[in-house]
């Protein structure tokens, strides 16, 4: 499926919500706008959603894997597009998430900026929050999304490897419509390398005091829609 293209200023880019929805001042979500705004200094932006090129019928290309370092079992949240992350109960029981985007319409080397946009659903699950990092994923795309790769191996994969971006998320940053995480140079290079195919990232929440329960997107992720990768393909200076 082709990515949707927009002509946006940098300010407008940061205001884009997943699935083309716009947030009101009250934090609610309005219907899609008829067209994006255009200014003299504009950028071409491609929007790639986890709903594109689904591997599981009716489920977006996103998910959660759980693990326990004391009792080695791990597993997928089956039949779900949830993307919860953090400590469901007291550590070491932990949730890690992943997101996959179809970049088949992106030209290699054309990306100059990228932002991962995750929906909040206007609630705060619980705990003090923490630093959410997105990282490289080496598990094959089909095996990741169809849950055919060993869950323990995937769990480890989602929490290791080069960091592509990070954001400290506390209650005040998780009650708006979305959280935006700009990709760093390593992440942008990975996007350009993945152009023409699929691109996945894994997410892990770290907490300064692992004794606290702390989980993000536990309640909203199973009922709120697609996540989005916004890729700028023209240098705006």
Percent of the chain scoring above 90 in pLDDT: 49
153: left (phi over 0), alpha (psi -120 to 50) or beta: alpha
Maximum alpha-carbon separation in the chain:
58
* Residue 126: per-residue pLDDT: 59
Does the pTM of the predicted model rise above 0.85?
A: no
| Least confident among 31-45, 82-96, 159-173 | 31-45
**Residue 15 DSSP one-character state:** H
Closest CA to 179 of 57, 88, 97, 75: 97
Count CA atoms within 13 Å of residue 46 on its CB side.
Answer: 20
* Residue 209: per-residue pLDDT: 56
**Could you check whether the bond before residue 20 is cis, i.e. omega within 30 degrees of 0?**
no
**SS3 for 229?**
strand
The C-alpha angle 14, 17, 21, rounded to 5 degrees, equals 135
| Mean pLDDT across the chain | 78
Band (18; pLDDT cuts 50, 70, 90):
very low
Strands, E assignment, the chain? 4-8, 22-23, 29-30, 43-49, 62-68, 74-76, 85-87, 93-102, 113-119, 130-136, 163-169, 178-182, 198-206, 214-216, 228-232
Round to whole Å and give the CA distance between 232 and 69. 39
Give the N- to C-terminal CA distance of the chain in Å, as an integer. 30
- pLDDT tens by residue, 198-223: 999 999 998 755 556 778 887 655 45
**Residue 105 token pair:** 């319409």
**Residue 155 DSSP one-character state:** H
> Regarding predicted confidence, which is higher, 34 or 43?
43
The H-or-E segment that residue 142 falls in is helix 141-146
Q: Would you give the distance in Å from CA 110 to the centre of its chain? A: 21
* Residue 128: per-residue pLDDT: 65
- Average pLDDT for residues 84-97, to the nearest whole number? 80
DSSP characters over 156-198: HHHTSS-EEEEEEE-GGGSSSSEEEEE--HHHHHHHHHHTTSE
């Amino acid at each position: 499926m082709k990515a949707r293209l927009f002509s946006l200023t940098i300010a407008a880019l940061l205001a884009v919500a997943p699935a083309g929805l716009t947030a009101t001042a009250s934090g609610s979500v309005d219907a899609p706008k008829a067209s994006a705004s255009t200014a003299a200094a504009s950028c071409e932006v491609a929007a790639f959603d986890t709903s594109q090129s689904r591997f599981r019928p009716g489920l977006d290309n996103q998910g959660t894997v759980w693990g326990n370092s004391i009792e080695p079992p791990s597993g997928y949240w089956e039949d779900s597009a949830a993307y919860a992350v953090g400590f469901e109960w007291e550590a070491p029981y932990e949730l890690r998430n992943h997101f996959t985007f179809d970049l088949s319409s992106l030209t290699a080397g054309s990306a100059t900026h990228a932002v991962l946009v995750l929906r909040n659903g206007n609630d705060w699950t619980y705990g003090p929050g923490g630093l959410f990092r997105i990282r490289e994923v080496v598990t094959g795309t089909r095996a990741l999304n169809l849950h055919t790769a060993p869950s323990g191996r995937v769990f480890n994969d989602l929490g290791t490897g080069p960091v592509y971006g990070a954001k400290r998320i506390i209650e005040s940053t998780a009650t708006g419509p979305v959280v935006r995480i700009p990709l760093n140079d390593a992440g942008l290079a990975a996007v350009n390398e993945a152009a023409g195919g699929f691109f996945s990232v894994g997410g892990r929440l770290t907490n300064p005091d692992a004794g606290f329960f702390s989980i993000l997107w536990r309640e909203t992720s199973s009922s709120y829609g697609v996540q989005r990768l916004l890729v700028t393909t023209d240098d705006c200076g």
